[in-house]
Amino acid sequence: MPVLVYGFLARVLTGPTLSPMGLLATKVVAPGLSFPVKLVSGPPKRFAQTISLLFSMTALILHFAFGLSEVASIVLGILVVFAVLESVFAFCDGCVTFGILMRVGLIPESVCKSCVF
């Protein structure tokens, strides 16, 4: 869990440059696949990674501070479901949520001009 938290924190702060998993995904896995490239604007991805950071930090705190390893496993399981949705079906729930928040005005258009729907 600490490695997972570090990976998401690094991606939220710097993109994939300091994240081992981010580097693996962008430098090894993605180039090795023959799928067409689907570029996504940075702010929705950063938003999704922030949500993942919150989930992984919650699991870490539940496990180590409160000894609630079963509850922490459930939180991580939810995170895995969303990771599978993105990796298998190219569905980023955080990105969709970001778009909805923009449409209802909670995130201003100035945050991401390329994200305006």
**Per residue of the chain (117 residues), what is the pLDDT tens digit?**
999 999 999 999 998 888 888 888 888 888 888 777 777 789 999 999 999 999 999 999 999 999 999 999 999 999 999 999 998 898 999 999 999 999 999 999 999 888 865
Radius of gyration of the chain measured on its C-alpha atoms: 15
Let me know: does 77 contact 83? Beta carbons within 8 Å: no
**What pLDDT sits at residue 18?**
87
Show me where the domains of the chain are located: 2-115
For residue 117, the model assigns a pLDDT of 58
Q: Which residues contact 34 (CB under 8 A, 6 or more apart)?
A: none
What torsion, rounded to 10 degrees, do the Cα atoms 6, 7, 12, 15 define? 140
C-alpha–C-alpha distance, residues 27 and 33, integer Å: 11
For residue 20, the model assigns a pLDDT of: 86
